[in-house]
């Protein structure tokens, strides 16, 4: 029996579900499977939306937990919450990417190390430092921008993955998890994703904060892609996960500086 192509509306819904299931550990539906290449590329458009939903979870968790626990415990629990909901996908990517960069002499060696399920000393150290910086940055958030920052944090990181993936070749010749997502990703997808993340950033952080956030995230994402192409010959799912982690930490660290610049 010939398989019918989904309609435009159903394709958008399916792309959203593919993005949700790829970025979170929360199942929404088991009826959507066998994605078309265009649907996988289209799922990138929804990454900032998934990020905003995760940000809403963080903001809600912050309000709830702050009434019970001190700030130090709340920040730690928020990190645990985000890691649990996203099944540690991006933290794993960061650790694998760092292990590959540190342990291999050639792109093939680095990719082989990244595929190894075991974590090395460099990957573990980098992961601990990233989590530590995230915790410290959460503690340093000014109270008046804490909730907006929590709302926007996952959206900016996941939008950066879309920017980093644009026009980037897949590193492994045999294919892999991220290869189908990259095959049909276009500038139009990135533009749509940018519109979806820019609107809440403008509302929550203002024009200056929104522009600074997008520029920082895009610069870090493209720098990560350039590094991956140089060291690996292209990008992988691990490099995109690492991009998300780095951009989220940079965003958190930059928020107090942006607030100070606006006040000054």
Residue range 156-171: mean pLDDT, rounded: 95
**Residue 44, pLDDT above cutoff 90:** yes
What are the pLDDT digits (tens) for 89-107? 999 999 999 999 998 889 9
Which residues 6+ apart lie within 8 Å of 114 measured at CB? 96, 97, 99, 100, 236, 238
Pick the closest to residue 237 from 91, 133, 127 (CA basis): 91
Least confident of 122-131, 155-164, 232-241, 253-262: 253-262
pLDDT band, residue 27 (cuts 50/70/90)? confident
Tokens 């903001």 correspond to: 59
Residue 5 per-residue DSSP state: P
* Count: domains in the chain: 1
Residue range 105-114: mean pLDDT, rounded: 94
Pick the closest to residue 38 from 185, 161, 152, 232 (CA basis): 185
Residue 10 lies in a domain: no
Residue 37 lies in a domain: no
Residue 191 lies in a domain: yes
Domain that holds residue 67: 45-166+175-263
pLDDT band, residue 10 (cuts 50/70/90)? low
Residue 17 lies in a domain: no
The helix or strand, by DSSP H or E, that contains position 120, with its residue range, turns out to be none
**The pLDDT of residue 83:** 96
DSSP string over 188-207: HHHHHHHHHHHHHHHHHHHH
Of residues 11 and 184, the one with the higher pLDDT is 184
pLDDT band, residue 2 (cuts 50/70/90)? very low
Residue 35 lies in a domain: no
**Residue 52, pLDDT above cutoff 60:** yes
Residue 5 lies in a domain: no
Least confident of 13-22, 34-43, 151-160, 245-254: 34-43
Please give the torsion angle defined by the CA atoms of residues 126, 130, 136 and 139, in that order, rounded to the nearest 10 degrees: -160
This prediction's pTM:
0.91
Rounded to the nearest angstrom, the gap between the alpha carbon of residue 256 and the centroid of all alpha carbons in its chain is: 21
Percent of the chain with pLDDT over 90: 72
Residue 21 lies in a domain: no
């Amino acid at each position: 029996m010939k398989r019918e192509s989904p309609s435009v509306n159903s394709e958008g819904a399916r792309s959203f579900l593919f993005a949700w299931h790829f970025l979170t550990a929360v199942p929404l539906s088991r009826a959507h499977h066998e994605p078309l290449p265009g649907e996988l590329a289209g799922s990138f458009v929804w990454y900032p939306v998934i990020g905003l939903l995760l940000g809403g979870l963080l903001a809600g968790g912050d309000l709830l937990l702050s009434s019970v626990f001190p700030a130090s415990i709340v920040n730690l629990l928020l990190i645990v919450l985000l890691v649990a909901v996203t099944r540690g996908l991006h933290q794993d990517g960061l650790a694998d990417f760092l292990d590959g960069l540190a342990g291999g002499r050639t792109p093939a060696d680095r990719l082989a190390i990244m595929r190894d399920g075991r974590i090395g000393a460099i990957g573990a150290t980098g992961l601990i430092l990233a989590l530590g910086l995230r915790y410290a940055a959460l503690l340093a958030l000014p109270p008046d921008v804490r909730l907006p920052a929590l709302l926007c944090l996952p959206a900016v990181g996941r939008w950066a993955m879309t920017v980093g993936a644009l026009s980037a070749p897949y590193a492994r010749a045999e294919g892999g998890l991220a290869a189908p997502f990259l095959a049909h990703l276009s500038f139009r997808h990135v533009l749509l994703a940018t519109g979806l993340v820019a609107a809440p950033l403008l509302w929550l952080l203002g024009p200056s904060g929104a522009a600074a956030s997008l520029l920082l995230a895009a610069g870090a994402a493209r720098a990560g892609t350039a590094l991956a192409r140089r060291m690996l010959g292209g990008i992988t799912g691990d490099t995109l996960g690492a991009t998300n982690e780095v951009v989220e930490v940079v965003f958190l660290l930059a928020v107090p500086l942006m607030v100070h610049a606006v006040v000054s």
